[in-house]
Amino acid sequence: MLTKRHLLAATAALIACGAAALAQDARPAAPAQAQTGTRFITVASTTSTVDSGLFNHLLPLFRAKTGIEVRVISQGTGQALDTGRRGDADVVFVHARAAEETFVADGFGGPRRPVMYNDFVLIGPKSDPAGIKGSRDIAAALTAIQTKAAPFVSRGDRSGTHQAELALWRAANIDLAATRGTWYREIGQGMGAALNTAGGMNAYVLSDRATWLSFRNRGDLDILVEGDRRLFNQYGIMLVNPQRHPHVKQADAQAFIDWIVGPEGQKAIADYKINGQQLFFANASDTGA
């Protein structure tokens, strides 16, 4: 039989247990076991290195070698350089040498290292309304397109390809501001979108060869002009300046640069092919490239 004394003792015990529980709940939660974070760097790079499948080939090799994951921001060269200027990437890997040299001169990164090259090709409909098929003179081909007002699609996105296209119009002594009309269409998008638009319009378009070789939706398009030395397309790589942006992962970013311009990276670039065709040619040893 429970006495009053027993009831008071039981009540005190329950109160004590409740207080202990409340105290337990009030304590800060113990920190979760820290998970080992993925070691990674961010690379801002031109769309051609992604769209061609090159990075899908290179990056697993680099990670297997170093344990470093590379996260790629795929943009036109102008946008990629802007990303580097803001410090939103650790490395910039693009293809517009004059713009790259300005990036370095302005203190946003560097030094610039050459990595590889390929070339641009002028794509157009097989019907070829401008009559340029087989020409090796890109300036003459662009002059014929402008003269006949044949449809032409421009990326219009400040990419390396867009900058190269504008330089080629200048080389042909064509003032686009004065002569462009409805035949010239800027889309402000990447290479894949430009090729798709050209296919839909039966239009001409400048493309890097690597993206063209990996492009599936060719329709009636074909390479019409190639081989002019002015179509040379060089790629360069730069570390974003860690003094300007202290959060830049300098050591791991430099490890990526050293790998890609070193023997293993250069061999991996040379080994990448589609249907037996080599897309990029490694030339890091050519310091003037």
Identify the domain containing residue 168 by its residue range.
Answer: 119-231
Angle at 58 between CA 264 and CA 237, to 5 degrees: 80
- The mean pLDDT value of the chain amounts to 89
Residue 289: per-residue pLDDT = 87
Q: Are residues 131 and 76 in the same domain?
A: no
Closest CA to 160 of 215, 236, 88: 236
Q: Is the dihedral of CA 84, 89, 90, 95 positive or negative?
A: negative
Q: Per the structure, how many domains does the chain have?
A: 2
Q: Is the pLDDT higher at 6 or at 123?
A: 123
Report the alpha-carbon distance of residue 191 to residue 233 in Å, rounded: 15
Are 194 and 215 a contacting pair, CB within 8 Å? no
Assign 3-state DSSP to the chain and report helix, strand, coil percentages, each to 5.
45, 20, 35
Residue 3 predicted with pLDDT over 70: no
- Both 205 and 133 in one domain: the answer is yes
* Residue pLDDT, tens place only, 276-289: 999 999 999 998 88
Distance CA(107)–CA(243), nearest Å, equals 9
Domain with residue 87: its CATH number is 3.40.190.10
In terms of domains, do 195 and 257 share one? no
Residue 74 bridge partners (DSSP): 45
Please write the tens of the pLDDT for every residue from 93-140: 999 999 999 999 999 999 999 999 999 999 999 999 999 999 999 999
Give one DSSP letter per residue of 123-137, joined into a string.
EEETT-TT--TT---
DSSP summary character for residue 159: -
